[in-house]
Amino acid sequence: MRFLMIQKPADTQPDEKLFAEMGAFVEELTAAGVLLATGGLEPGGLLVSSHGDEITVTDGPFAEAKEAAAGFALIEVGTKEEAIELARRFRKIVGDGESTIQQVFG
Amino acid sequence: MPEVRRTIDAVWKLESARIVGGLARLVHDVGLAEELAQDALVAALEQWPTAGIPDNPGAWLTTVARRRAIDHLRRSSRTTEINTEIAYAEQPAQAQDDVLRLIFVCCHPALPRDARVALTLRLVAGLSAAEIARAFLQDEPQVVRRIAAAKQTLAEEGVGFAQPPGAALPGRLASVLEVLYLVFNEGYSATEGQDLIRADLCREALRLGRMLATLAPDEAEAHGLVALMELQASRSAARTGPSGELIPLHEQNRGRWDQLLIKRGFAAMLRARALGAPPGPYVVQAAIAVCHAQARTAADTDWARIATLYDALVRLLPTAVVRLNRAVAIGFARGPAAGLAEADALLTDPALRDYHLLPAVRGDLLSRLSRHEEARREFERAAVLTRNHAEREFLRRRAAESRRAAESRWAAESTPGAAPATLGTAAAAFLSRDDLDRATVRSYGQTLTRLRRALGDSLPVAELTPDRVATVFTTAWGSAAAKTWNRHRATVRSFAAWSSLPALAEALDRRPETAQPPPATPPELPESPAASLRERTLWRLLHESSAPVTAVLALNVEDLDLEDRRARSGDRWVTWRSGTARLLPELVAGRTSGPLFLTDRRPPPSGTADRCPHTGRARLSYERAEYLCKQATGRTLSSLRQRGNSRSRLSTR
C-alpha cells in the first residue's frame, strides 16, 4: 500500500535543529526501505483552472495558504496503521501543525 | 481492542528487526532474543488497551524487552560479566549494525533454505507465522515448527551474534541475497491476485533489500539486487490483463510501468556501478532489466546488448534457466533460427525436463520461423507442464493461434484434412487394450507419460522417430539403473510392435544388467558436521547397531547401559560401538530417565504421554527424524543401518 503524507505549512520558521532532525528521520525511513520519494514544495506555486474550454493560470500565493502543501513523503507500507505510526513520528519532530495521510491507488 | 492490536502490529513491523537485533547483541542468542521481544509484545497487549498507547511505542517495547533481557542475564551469569554486557549493549548508534547482523544470522548457511526464508520473514520483516504460512501456501504449524527448528539449530551450532568475518562475508551475503530474491519471486509469480499477501512478499523483499543496501552500502550485489527487484516490480501492474491473464513483456503497455520504481532501479544500479567491482550475477541481471526499462517500445529493445549481457550472465551463473533466457535474447538479437539452436541444445538437459518455459520458448521461436504445427505442439506441451493458471491460459491461446496459422497453410497447400494419429491418442489406445494387467498398464504408463510430456500429445505418430525417443530416454533415464532403462525400453518395443513402427526402439541399446553384489563394506555414514548432536548420535547409533529405526527411537535414558554399550528396547538389545559411545554421554547430559531422543520443540501444555521428566519435551517422532536425515544427508534413516551384519549385533529374546 502506498500512502502520500502531506505536510501543511507551519507557523514557525524551521531552524537548523529541525533540518538536522528531519534529515535523520528521512535517513531512517530510507534505511527501513519504506520511503519511496520525498520533497519540500515551494510556497504558493501556480494555480491552473479550467472552465469549459478556458484554461487559466494564476500565480500564487493564495488566500487558502492553510490548505496548501509544504512537503510530501510517498511511503510504501503494509497497513494504514504503519503509515499512521510513521506520521506520528514525523509530527513529533516538526512540532505543532498538521499532516494528512491518503492512500494512493493504482 | 482491535485498534490497539493493529497499532501494536504496525509498531512491531517497523521495529521488530531493531528490537530483536539489539536483544540478540545482549543475550547472544537470536531465538532467546525473539522470545524476549515477544514477551514485551504480550506486555503491550495487556497494558496498552487500558493505559493507552505510549508516546513512543517503539521505545516502550525496546525498554521493556531490554529489561527482561537484563533480568535473564542476571539470573544466568555472574555480575561482572553482566555489567560489561550491558555497557556494551548500551552503546548508541549500533541499531543498524544489529539489524545487519540479524539478517546474516537468519540467513546462516547452517540452516536449510526454507528455514532461512521463514526466519528472515519472522525476525527481520516482523511477519507472523500465520502470514508466512499464507504467503507460502503452507500450514501454520509447519511454519512454526520450521522456525523453532531453525532457532534450535542456531543455538546448537553456537551461532552467536557476531558479524561474519571478512573472508566469509561474500558467501554469507550471497545467502542473504538469495533469500531475499526467493521471497520476491514467490510474490512475483503469484499473478492471480486472489491472495494479496502473496503479492505483499514482493514489497517485503524490496523493503528488506533496500534496508540491506543501506546497511551494507559497499556491496555492489546488494544494490544490484535492489535494482533488479525495483525494475521487476515496476512492471507488476502491466503484467496481467483485466481477467488476470499473463501479458508477456513485449506486449505490455509500457505506460503502465511504474516510473518511480524504474527511477529507483536506475539509481540503485548507478550506486552498484559506482563501486567499480566486477559485476556479479545480480548486477548483470539488473543491467538486463535496465535495457528493457529504457526501451520506449518493445521494438526499441536493445536485444544485441541484452544478448551480450546474457553471455556474461551465463559465465557467472551457468544454470539451465539462464541459458534458456539467453536463447530468448539470441532469438531476438540474431534471429529465431539462432535462438532455436540455443534452445534445442537444452532439450537433453535433465534440469529442464518438466520446465514449461523450454517448450514455451521453443514454441515462440518455431512460430516465428512459421513452423506452426511444431509450435502448436510445443505450446500445448508447455500448457500441460505449467502449474500457473494464468500462464496455462496464455499458452493455450498461443497454441490455438499456431493451429489456425498451420491450418491456413494446409488449406493453401491443400493437404488432406484427415487428422493424423497422434502420440497422445496412440498411447491412450495402447494402454486401454484389455489384454494388459494392471501392473503392466502402470509400468507402460510411466514410460509413455514421460514420452508424452517430452514430445507432446499432439505429435503425429508418423513423426515419432527412433532419434526422438532416444533423446527422451537419455534425458530421463540416461543415468538410471540398467534395469530401469531396460524396462522402459521394453515398453517402447511393445508399443512399437503394437503401432506398427518396428524401428522405434532401434536407437536404444539394451544395457547389461549385472547383479549388484552386496557391498563388501557397509555404506559410509555421511559426514554432516552441520547436524545437531542429537542427529549425529541417532545416525551413528543406527549405523553401529543396525537396529530397526523404531527400536532406536524407542530407547529410554534409563535403559542405557553406557558401560556395556547396550540398551534394551522392547524385547531386543541394541548395541553400539565406540563412535556412539563417545556421543551418548553428551546427549544424555545428566538426564536420568525419559526418551533418549527428544523433539526440539517445547511441548503443548496438555498431553502426558512419553515425555522427558526434565524438560517436558516429547519423544522425537520417526517422521521428524526421517525428514531431518533426508534434509541433511539425502538418505533415509533406515539406509544408515549396516545390514550385512545385523544378525550378529541383535539378539532377540
**Rounded Cα gap, residues B358 and B321, in angstroms:** 9
**What is the distance in angstroms between the Cα of A106 and the nearest Cα belonging to chain B?**
8
Cell reading at B62: 525496546
**Rounded Cα gap, residues B570 and B392, in angstroms:** 55
Sign of CA dihedral B242, B248, B253, B255: positive
Answer whether B211 sits within 8 Å of A82, measured CB to CB: no
Judgement on whether residues B486 and B542 belong to the same structural domain of the protein = no
Of B558, B515, B560, nearest in space to B541 by CA? B560
The pLDDT value recorded for residue B633 is 76
Residue B167, H or E segment: none
Cell reading at B207: 523493503
- Yes or no: say if B175 and B141 are a contact pair by the CB < 8 Å rule: no
Judgement on whether residues B538 and B631 belong to the same structural domain of the protein = yes
**Which of B210, B230, B271 to mutate to test binding with chain A, by most A CBs within 10 Å of its CB?**
B210
Mean pLDDT in residue range B376-381: 94
What is the identity of the amino acid at B593?
S
- Yes or no: say if B528 and B633 are a contact pair by the CB < 8 Å rule: yes
pLDDT for residue A51 is more than 80: yes
The pLDDT value recorded for residue B648 is 38
Question: B61 is in which domain, residue-wise?
Answer: 1-72
* B522 — pLDDT class (breaks 50, 70, 90): very low
ipTM score assigned to the predicted complex: 0.83
B198 or B111: which carries more pLDDT confidence? B111
Of the three residues B445, B479, B498, the one that is the final residue of a domain is B498
* B644 — pLDDT class (breaks 50, 70, 90): very low
Residue B116 covered by a domain = no
Of A53, A106, A23, nearest in space to B259 by CA? A106
Q: Out of B15-24, B91-100, B176-185, B506-515, which region has the weakest mean confidence (pLDDT)?
A: B91-100
- Which residues neighbour A89 within 8 Å (Cβ) at sequence distance 6 or greater? A25
The pLDDT value recorded for residue B646 is 41
Judgement on whether residues B556 and B624 belong to the same structural domain of the protein = yes
Judgement on whether residues B568 and B630 belong to the same structural domain of the protein = yes
Q: Is B210 on the interface with A (CB under 8 A)?
A: yes
Q: Which residues of B touch A82 (CB under 8 A)?
A: 10, 13-14
Q: Which residues of B touch A91 (CB under 8 A)?
A: none
**Rounded Cα gap, residues B375 and B368, in angstroms:** 9
Give the strands of the sheet with B566-569, arranged side by side.
B560-561, B566-569, B572-575
Answer whether B13 sits within 8 Å of A37, measured CB to CB: no
Helix (H, G, I), strand (E, B) or coil at B640: helix
Q: How many domains does chain B have?
A: 3
Of B14, B209, B210, the CB nearest to A82: B14
CA dihedral A31, A34, A37, A43 (to 10 degrees): -100
Could you read off the pLDDT of A4-13 as tens digits, one per residue? 999 888 777 7
Of B178, B256, B211, nearest in space to B100 by CA? B211
Of B11, B209, B264, the CB nearest to A85: B11
Judgement on whether residues B538 and B645 belong to the same structural domain of the protein = yes
Judgement on whether residues B644 and B540 belong to the same structural domain of the protein = yes
- Yes or no: say if B554 and B569 are a contact pair by the CB < 8 Å rule: yes
Answer whether B7 sits within 8 Å of A81, measured CB to CB: yes
- Neighbouring-strand partners of residue A5: A73, A101
Residue B247 covered by a domain = no
Of A31, A85, A106, the CB nearest to B211: A31
Helix (H, G, I), strand (E, B) or coil at B593: coil
Q: Which residues of A touch B6 (CB under 8 A)?
A: 79, 81
Answer whether A30 sits within 8 Å of B214, measured CB to CB: yes
Exposure of B511 by Cβ count < 10 A (0-12 exposed, 13-18 middle, 19+ buried)? middle
pLDDT for residue B47 is more than 70: yes
Residues for chain A: how many in total? 106
- Yes or no: say if B116 and B108 are a contact pair by the CB < 8 Å rule: yes
User: Which conformational region is residue B590 in: left (phi greater than 0), alpha (psi within -120 to 50 degrees), or beta?
Assistant: left
B488 or B408: which carries more pLDDT confidence? B488
The pLDDT value recorded for residue B652 is 40
Judgement on whether residues B494 and B538 belong to the same structural domain of the protein = no
Residue B219 covered by a domain = no
Residue B314 covered by a domain = no
A63 or B448: which carries more pLDDT confidence? B448
Q: Is B264 on the interface with A (CB under 8 A)?
A: yes
**What is the distance in angstroms between the Cα of B159 and the nearest Cα belonging to chain A?**
25
Judgement on whether residues B549 and B607 belong to the same structural domain of the protein = yes
Judgement on whether residues B537 and B642 belong to the same structural domain of the protein = yes
**Rounded Cα gap, residues B418 and B438, in angstroms:** 33
Q: Is B6 on the interface with A (CB under 8 A)?
A: yes
Judgement on whether residues B483 and B562 belong to the same structural domain of the protein = no
A14 or B86: which carries more pLDDT confidence? A14
Residue B485 covered by a domain = yes
**Rounded Cα gap, residues B353 and B611, in angstroms:** 47
Q: For residues B453-480, b (16+ Cβ closer than 10 Å) or e, as one string?
A: bbbbbbbebeebebebbbbbbbbbbeee
Helix (H, G, I), strand (E, B) or coil at B154: helix
Give phi and psi for B258, each to the nearest 5.
-80, 105
CATH code (residue B35): 1.10.1740
pLDDT for residue B189 is more than 90: no
Looking at chain A, which residue has its C-alpha nearest residue B6? A81
Residue B8 covered by a domain = yes
Question: What is the DSSP annotation of B117-131?
Answer: HHHIIIIIS---HHH
Q: Is B13 on the interface with A (CB under 8 A)?
A: yes
Question: Percentage of chain B with pLDDT > 90?
Answer: 30
Residue B16 covered by a domain = yes
Answer whether A85 sits within 8 Å of B57, measured CB to CB: yes
B408 or A33: which carries more pLDDT confidence? A33
Mean pLDDT in residue range B608-616: 74
**Rounded Cα gap, residues B445 and B440, in angstroms:** 8
**Rounded Cα gap, residues B533 and B524, in angstroms:** 18
Q: Out of B302-316, B368-382, B401-415, B561-575, which region has the weakest mean confidence (pLDDT)?
A: B401-415
B207 or B416: which carries more pLDDT confidence? B207
Q: How far is CA B224 from CA B172, B177, B430, in A?
A: 16, 10, 54
The pLDDT value recorded for residue B543 is 86
Q: Which residues of B touch A34 (CB under 8 A)?
A: 14, 207
Mean pLDDT in residue range B4-19: 88
Judgement on whether residues B557 and B645 belong to the same structural domain of the protein = yes
**What is the distance in angstroms between the Cα of B209 and the nearest Cα belonging to chain A?**
8
Answer whether B207 sits within 8 Å of A33, measured CB to CB: yes
Q: Which of A77-86, B474-483, B563-572, B574-583 is most confident?
A: A77-86
Mean pLDDT in residue range B444-450: 88
Q: Out of A4-13, B200-209, B600-609, which region has the weakest mean confidence (pLDDT)?
A: B600-609
pLDDT for residue B570 is more than 90: no
Question: Percentage of chain B with pLDDT > 70?
Answer: 88
Could you read off the pLDDT of B622-637 as tens digits, one per residue? 878 888 887 777 777 8
Angle between helices B423-431 and B438-455 (to 10 degrees): 180
Helix (H, G, I), strand (E, B) or coil at B422: strand
Residue B348, H or E segment: none
Number of DSSP helices (H) and strands (E) in chain B, helices first? 28, 3
What domains lie within chain A, and their CATH numbers? 1-24+31-41+67-106 (3.30.70.920)
Number of neighbours of residue B98 by Cβ within 10 angstroms: 23
**Rounded Cα gap, residues B253 and B297, in angstroms:** 9
Residue B65 covered by a domain = yes
Could you read off the pLDDT of B388-415 as tens digits, one per residue? 777 888 899 999 999 998 887 766 665 5
* B197 — pLDDT class (breaks 50, 70, 90): low
Chain-wide mean pLDDT for chain B?
84
Q: Which residues of A touch B257 (CB under 8 A)?
A: none
* B193 — pLDDT class (breaks 50, 70, 90): very low
Helix (H, G, I), strand (E, B) or coil at B366: helix
